[in-house]
Amino acid sequence: MSEPTVPLRSHARPARRTGGVRRVTALRSAGLSLLLVLAVAGCTSADGRDTATSGDSTAVAVTGPLCDVLPAGTDPGNPASLVGEPVDVALQWIPVLTTFESALRASGLAPELRGRTGLTILAPTDDAFLAKFNEDTLDALFIERKDDLRALIEAHLVDGSHSLSDLVDAGTVTTLDGTKVEVTASGTMARVAGQADTLCTDYRAGNARIHIINKVLGKLPTDADGRGHRG
């Protein structure tokens, strides 16, 4: 198995201190200009993004029964903090997706996903992987069966960044492995491929939407037997 993922941390650049009368005068002038800009453009988020024009304020409104136990507010990994992050980095901060995130890295697909202009990820939880594969199978997929692992990951990826409502309205989407997958409404959530339910939806990474689901998709057989790793 791959080693546990250590979340990447963003490193803020320390503010530079400058002095002088000319600097103070310039700041006062800039402050007046800034007030005029804000009056026209609307509110600005704490990290400098313009929420009135970027749409970030709606992009981080995740929904679903699992959302209540995931990072929120000012917790590390809260939905707002993941906006703009590369998708593989964003996945590292969602605690129920450690197996999927590790599988993505092991498959070698992470760099390719960063280069896409839009992507939708139907990401199974760790419990979903435990229900699908025993540990020996996961070890083999991560270490030896890289083609199968890549196909498994692609079975959970859809071209274009789609919200949950987009997926339901479309009714059918095609995953990157070429499989047509039905998406139907299920209360306020959705059912995917007639088997997987969405649990927390509409995380927004830099180029992707992430929807957490409770089943592993794809063509690989289920072999979970409760024995775990043979040691």
Would 118 be classed as within a structural domain? yes
| Model confidence pLDDT, tens digit, residues 192-219 | 999 999 999 999 998 899 999 999 999 9
The domain total for the chain is: 2
| Residues 155 and 176 reside in one and the same domain | yes
Compute the average pLDDT of residues 88-114: 96
| pLDDT exceeds cutoff 70 at 129 | yes
Would 45 be classed as within a structural domain? yes
| pLDDT exceeds cutoff 90 at 154 | yes
Would 219 be classed as within a structural domain? no
| Residues 138 and 182 reside in one and the same domain | yes
Three-state helix/strand/coil letters over the chain = CCCCCCCCCCCCCCCCCCCCHHHHHHHHHHHHHHHHHHHHHCCCCCCCCCHHHHCHHHHCCCECCCHHHCCCCCCCCCHHHHCCCCHHHHHHCCHHHHHHHHHHHHHCCHHHHHCCCCEEEEEECHHHHHHHCCHHHHHHHHHCCHHHHHHHHHCCEEECCCCHHHHHHHCEEEECCCCEEEEEEECCEEEECCCEEEEEEEEECCCEEEEEECCCCCCCCCCCCCCCCCC
| Model confidence pLDDT, tens digit, residues 62-73 | 999 999 999 999
What CATH code is carried by the domain that includes residue 191?
2.30.180.10
| Model confidence pLDDT, tens digit, residues 139-150 | 999 999 999 999
Q: At what angle do helices 135-143 and 98-107 cross, to 10 degrees?
A: 30
Distance CA 190, CA 202 (A): 12
| pLDDT exceeds cutoff 70 at 57 | no
Q: Which domain holds residue 26?
A: 20-54
| Residues 41 and 134 reside in one and the same domain | no
Would 38 be classed as within a structural domain? yes
Would 67 be classed as within a structural domain? yes
Token readout for 185 is 């409404």
| Residues 46 and 64 reside in one and the same domain | no
| Residues 38 and 138 reside in one and the same domain | no
Would 7 be classed as within a structural domain? no
| Residues 101 and 65 reside in one and the same domain | yes
| Residues 40 and 110 reside in one and the same domain | no
Look at residue 226 in the predicted model and tell me its pLDDT: 54
| Residues 112 and 205 reside in one and the same domain | yes
| Residues 158 and 104 reside in one and the same domain | yes
| Residues 99 and 24 reside in one and the same domain | no
Whole-structure pTM value: 0.74
| Model confidence pLDDT, tens digit, residues 29-54 | 444 343 333 333 333 333 333 333 33
Phi, psi of 105 (to 5 degrees): -65, -45
Distance CA 161, CA 174 (A): 13
| Residues 206 and 161 reside in one and the same domain | yes
Would 14 be classed as within a structural domain? no
| Residues 154 and 47 reside in one and the same domain | no
Would 224 be classed as within a structural domain? no
